């Protein structure tokens, strides 16, 4: 049975969510003490988190970062804040998806199922017993959110890690922009073209810090390619 962790201060909404999700066989735990979200997460050890943005004391972005220091489990934001930057902020702080209120409960359930398949089922990008991906000496640590090459290492955001994971799994093959967006965000509707550009620029800078700035190639009109033969990459 999958365990869902709900971080939402609207108790009426929490009751409705729990009633709906438990009908589908999910076990749920709703936070009551918003000063100890991280501790409750550790104790409950859920498979997925549903997170609001506006919370008592600290906002959902803060708690998302705290959870990301412990786990790579899927985190879905559910918020009445509809601004594009609110959604980008959630993704940048480690979220996997963002659902705006009011929402359809069936859509929430479908997104939960999708994330659980991606994280734990046949679509899982990284198996629980294999958190390291090595391509040409470039090592991605998906648990620690680190990229290592020789004696150097750089920290990645959760979204940057997911992009690098996709590129490294398909090293030397062109990965389309659409595939990257589909892999990172289930719902691309609110992600404008510039958002991916921002992430790719950040990744290039971090590869540059490792001394392999030419490893990532832009294939005009197609997408991106990670060339494992660093010395020949142009």
Q: What is the pLDDT of residues 121-145, one digit of tens each?
A: 654 544 444 578 888 889 998 877 8
In 122-171, where does DSSP find H-type helix? 158-169
**Contacts of residue 204, Cβ cutoff 8 Å, sequence gap at least 6:** 213, 216
Contact at 8 Å (CB) between 74 and 119? yes
Pick the closest to residue 51 from 39, 67, 35, 36 (CA basis): 67
Q: Which residue has the tokens 């859920």?
A: 46
- Which SS3 state, helix, strand or coil, does residue 11 take? helix
pLDDT at residue 29, rounded to an integer: 96
Range with lowest mean pLDDT among 134-143, 195-204, 223-232? 223-232
Instruction: Read off the pTM.
Output: 0.59
**Phi then psi for 133, rounded to 5 degrees?**
-125, 125
User: In the chain, what percentage of residues exceed pLDDT 70?
Assistant: 88
pLDDT at residue 130, rounded to an integer: 57
How far is Cα 190 from Cα 181, in angstroms, rounded to an integer? 11
- Count of H helices and E strands in the chain? 8, 12
Q: Which residue has the higher pLDDT, 194 or 89?
A: 89
Q: Which residue has the higher pLDDT, 6 or 96?
A: 6
């Amino acid at each position: 049975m999958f365990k869902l962790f709900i971080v939402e201060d609207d108790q009426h909404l929490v009751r409705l969510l729990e009633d709906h999700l438990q009908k589908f066989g999910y076990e749920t735990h709703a936070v009551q003490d918003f000063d100890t979200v991280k501790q409750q997460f550790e104790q409950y050890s859920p498979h997925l988190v549903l997170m609001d943005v506006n919370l008592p004391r600290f906002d959902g972005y803060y708690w998302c970062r705290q959870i990301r220091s412990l786990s790579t489990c899927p985190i879905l934001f559910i918020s009445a804040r509809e601004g594009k930057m609110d959604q980008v902020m959630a993704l940048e702080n480690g979220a996997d998806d963002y659902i705006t209120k009011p929402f359809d409960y069936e859509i929430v359930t479908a997104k939960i199922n999708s994330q659980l398949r991606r994280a734990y089922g046949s679509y899982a990008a990284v198996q629980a017993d294999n958190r390291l991906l090595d391509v040409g000496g470039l090592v991605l640590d998906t648990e620690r959110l680190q990229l290592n090459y020789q004696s150097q290492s750089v920290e990645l955001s959760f979204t940057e890690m997911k992009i690098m994971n996709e590129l490294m799994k398909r090293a030397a093959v062109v990965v389309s922009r659409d595939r990257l967006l589909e892999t990172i965000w289930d719902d691309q509707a609110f992600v404008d073209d510039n958002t991916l550009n921002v992430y790719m620029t950040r990744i290039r800078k971090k590869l540059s810090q490792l001394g392999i700035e030419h490893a990532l190639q832009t294939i005009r009109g197609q997408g991106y390619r990670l060339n494992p033969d660093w010395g020949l990459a142009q």
